[in-house]
Homo-oligomer: A and B are copies of this chain.
Amino acid sequence: MLLTTLYIIGITAEAMTGAIAAGKRHMDWFGVMLVASATAIGGGTVRDVLLGHYPLGWVANPQYLVITCLAGLFTTLVAKWVMRYHKIFVILDAVGLIVFSIIGCRVAMDMGLPPLICIVSAVVTGIFGGLLRDLICRRQPMVLHKELYASVAFLAGGMYFGMMYFEVPELITTVATLVVGFVARMAAVQLSWSLPVFKLDDETNIVVAPKESATDTK
């Protein structure tokens, strides 16, 4: 099925970006596999734990865990290539983000949860993998600072929920959400769209920063 194929592409790409982050922290192979897996399937794991949706996806389907571990280890061999063709991963990451959001929204809808929770479920699934990666690697969490990432997950979740609510056929809903979400994400990357940043110094100087200065947050 379309979603499953794209899901596997998504977790593979996310696992590889996780492995790169682990390499920058000089982790051993186990650390690489753990960070790769946390990045790729951590979002779905957090969602399932928050919703009480057991068994977790990778417990029921351990092959996904095998994929993320192997993708992580494989990255140690081809890291130079991964970093050179970084732009391919921006594209694959965008695909993963939308697929994760759609799956997150569906899981919550299948549980009969309220609309807002379905959309929150999409956002959690889309972004918590990257958030866990940054916490384990002790980096500034990217999704809290830069670019329209969570917002795109919100858009994708809302669009999917809305179209399903109005009984648009599932295939059309899925494809439309994928296309719109992907275009929105790539546009955000290309045009450096971002949310306003809330800057506060300890000296009580408050600045709600415009877009330009948001991007040079280190």
Q: Write the residues of chain A forming the contact surface with B, with a CB cutoff of 8 angstroms.
A: 19-20, 22-32, 34-35, 45, 49-52, 54-56, 59, 62, 65-66, 76, 79-80, 83-84, 113-114, 116-117, 120, 135-136, 138, 140-141, 143-146, 149-151, 194-202, 204, 206, 208-209, 214, 217
Contacts and interface: CB of A to CB of B under 8 A. Distances in A.
A128 B168 CA distance: 42
A31 B201 CA distance: 16
22 contacts: A19-B198, A22-B198, A24-B201, A24-B202, A26-B145, A26-B199, A26-B217, A27-B198, A28-B214, A29-B197, A30-B151, A31-B141, A31-B145, A34-B150, A45-B50, A59-B117, A62-B116, A62-B117, A76-B208, A79-B198, A83-B204, A135-B136
Contacts of A200: 20, 23-24, 26, 79, 83
Give the top 10 A-B pairs by smallest Cβ distance, nearest first: A31-B144, A23-B200, A52-B54, A28-B195, A62-B116, A30-B150, A23-B198, A29-B195, A76-B198, A27-B144
A198 B29 contact: yes
A51 B146 CA distance: 33
- How many copies are assembled? 3
Contacts of A206: 23, 79-80
A62 B195 contact: no
B114 A62 contact: yes
Contact of A26 (B66, B135, B197, B202): B197
